[in-house]
Amino acid sequence: MLMKMSLLSVLASFLTLIYVANAQGRGTVRLYSNNSTSSTLTAGIVQIYYGHSTGTNTWGNICEDDSFGHNEADVICNQLGYDGASTFGKAGSTAMYGTDSLDTIIDDVTCSDDDFLTLQQCSFDTTISSTCGDSNDAFVVC
Ligand SMILES: [Ca+2]
Ligand SMILES: [Ca+2]
């Protein structure tokens, strides 16, 4: 009986660890490059885990059309654990990262300070401009 209980508690701790490792927080960002979203990527198309128009959180892209600039790229790299961005742009302007076919879920990101540590300190819109498609997915090089 004692043996059975300790096995169960070990299993429970193990499952908790797996859950924590896989937990996606709302607002989490990651990079995409040629079908990979490896956490070791330092450059790629930006994906964010955020509420879609359906209300549930999902992974999607950020539109790089008008307000997206160096401040915004810096904040994304800061959030990923790097010290700002060296460059950024539209996915359609390079063949480096492939095409990320996820929907665009964040538009008009504006960060008033490039030292912010997370995009949630910036303003942004979940109403997506018609100009936002895969070729306008924002990429960053951290
Ligand atoms: Ca826009
Ligand atoms: Ca996309």
| Domain-wise residue ranges, the chain | 25-141
Residue 132 CA, ligand 2 centroid: distance in Å: 8
Residue 10, pLDDT score: 52
Strands annotated E in 8-122? 29-32, 43-51, 57-62, 87-90, 104-110
Q: Give the ligand whose atoms come closest to the C-alpha of residue 110.
A: 1
- pLDDT tens digits for the chain (142 residues)? 555 556 555 545 544 444 444 557 899 999 999 999 999 999 999 999 998 667 789 999 999 998 999 999 999 999 999 999 999 999 999 999 999 999 999 999 999 999 999 999 999 999 999 999 999 999 999 9
Contact 137, 45 (CB under 8 A): yes
Ion ligand 1: residues, CB within 5 A, are: 65-66, 107-108, 129
Domain 25-141 has CATH 3.10.250.10: yes
Residue 15, pLDDT score: 46
> Could you tell me the pTM of the whole model?
0.83
Residue 51, pLDDT score: 87
Dist. CA 31–CA 38, nearest whole Å? 7
Residue 21, pLDDT score: 47
Q: Helix and strand tally (H, E) in the chain?
A: 2, 7
Dist. CA 4–CA 28, nearest whole Å? 38
Residue 91 CA, ligand 2 centroid: distance in Å: 9
User: Between β-strands 57-62 and 87-90, what pairing exists: parallel, antiparallel or unpaired?
Assistant: unpaired
